[in-house]
Amino acid sequence: MALLSDDDISTALAVLPGWGIEDSMLVKEYVFPEGFMPAIAFVNRVADAAEAADHHPDIDIRWNTVRIAVVTHDQGGITEKDTALAAECDRLAVA
C-alpha cells in the first residue's frame, strides 16, 4: 500500500473531524463524559475492528479519554489503511 501524499492527507483530514497529524501519525482524542467504562467499551470495539482489518492502532487510555494514533509502520507513514481505520474509530465512538 502506497503512502498518501500531503494533499491526500489534507483531503482525508477534511472529512475526519478532530483528527490531526502528530509524529507522522493520524491522532485523535476521544472523551467519554460518562467515565471509564464507556471509554473501555470503545477501546474494545476499536480492538475488534483493528483485528478484523489486521491494522492495529496505538491506544492510550486515561480514565475517560482515549487517544488513538494510526500509522502504517511497514510503509513508514500514513496510508489509506490509516484513514479507513480513523473513520471506523469515529463510527465506533458513537456506537
Q: Can you give the CATH number for the domain in which 51 is found?
A: 3.30.1360.20
Residue 23 domain-assigned?
A: yes
How far apart CA 22 and CA 56 sit, in angstroms, is 17
Residue 84 domain-assigned?
A: yes
pLDDT of residue 30: 99
Q: Compute CA distances 63 → 9, 36, 37, 43, whole Å.
A: 30, 5, 9, 12
Residue 77 domain-assigned?
A: yes
pLDDT of residue 95: 76
Along the 95 residues of the chain, how does pLDDT read in single tens digits?
A: 799 999 999 999 999 999 999 999 999 999 999 999 999 999 999 999 999 999 999 999 999 999 999 999 999 999 999 999 999 999 999 97
pLDDT of residue 1: 79
pLDDT of residue 32: 98
Say which residues have a Cβ less than 8 Å from residue 54's Cβ, sequence separation at least 6: none
- What total number of domains does the chain contain? 1
User: Which uninterrupted H or E stretch holds 14?
Assistant: helix 6-14
pLDDT of residue 5: 97
Residue 26 domain-assigned?
A: yes
Residue 1 domain-assigned?
A: no
